[in-house]
Amino acid sequence: MHPVANAVEVPTDKILEAFEKAAVPDFTGQVSVHIRLLPTAAHEVEFRVETKRSLPVNFGTNHEEEKPFVTNDRINAVRMKLRELKLILYTPVVCVSGNFAKGMLKSFVVQEISA
């Protein structure tokens, strides 16, 4: 697991593959690998639900627990509030570029966007 909460390492196989192809004696130029998150990445997010409930002080003293009464007002209030919530999965890195001279990697640039 990555040391930063809610972060995972992205494999760099494709970047390595592209840069290795440029590491040949007759190549001088730049290789850029653009990075874009696909919408399907959001389907790989895990949700863990934890519920903490407060009980009245006199709970369990010969009183039967009342059955919760769910109303449309309560459900609608939850749905309206959640419409305000926007969870965005992103990576600030959008491009990795390498500058080659005669097949040798001379410089390496990571382009990021600000969040």
Question: Structure tokens of 25?
Answer: 């004696």
Which helix (H) or strand (E) is 32 found in, with range?
A: strand 29-34
Report yes or no on whether pTM surpasses 0.75: no
Q: pLDDT of 52-108, one tens digit each? A: 888 777 766 665 666 667 788 989 999 999 999 988 888 888 999 999 999 999 999
How far apart (Å, rounded) are the C-alpha atoms in residues 14 and 33? 8
DSSP secondary structure string for all residues of 55-113: --TTTTSS-PPPPP---HHHHHHHHHHHHT-------SEEEEEEEEETTEEEEEEEEE-
